[in-house]
Amino acid sequence: MRGFPCFKVHKADVGLVVTTASFTENARRLAEDIGIALCDGRRFVVWTEAGIPPWEEERYQEFLRSPQSFRHIFDHLYEPPEVAVRTHDLRARDTHPRH
């Protein structure tokens, strides 16, 4: 089933579907059947931060086996921002005088 339009019609070298979430098992099987790469949120971060594109599976797996590189990227990206916290009195205030 490698007749996916991105290859035949558009003469693409790579077919790719990107999401910031994740893919179902059915989506993974379909992508494998038609020869396209999937890029979920984690892979997207590795692609943009480490330069390993989703269609280079071997390099990606090697990267995953290297916890130092992996941790460095995700620690850098997910440092909690400094947030100013305000507290408010949420009790109802009577703004309309009663007669």
Q: What is the pLDDT, as a whole number, of residue 94?
A: 52
Which residue segment(s) compose the domain that 64 sits in? 5-77
Cα 53 to Cα 16: distance, rounded to the nearest angstrom: 10
Number of domains in the chain: 1
Query: What is the mean pLDDT of the segment spanning 21-26?
Result: 93
Cα 93 to Cα 99: distance, rounded to the nearest angstrom: 16
Question: Is residue 26 predicted with pLDDT exceeding 70?
Answer: yes
* Residues 62, 52 contacting (CB under 8 angstroms): no
Q: What is the pLDDT, as a whole number, of residue 78?
A: 55
Task: Decide if 94 is inside a domain.
Answer: no
Helix (H) or strand (E) segment spanning residue 8: helix 5-8
Q: What is the pLDDT, as a whole number, of residue 20?
A: 86
Task: Decide if 67 is inside a domain.
Answer: yes
| Backbone angle region of 89, left / alpha / beta, with phi > 0 → left and psi within -120 to 50 → alpha | beta
Task: Decide if 41 is inside a domain.
Answer: yes
Least confident of 6-10, 22-26, 36-40, 67-71: 67-71
Task: Decide if 34 is inside a domain.
Answer: yes
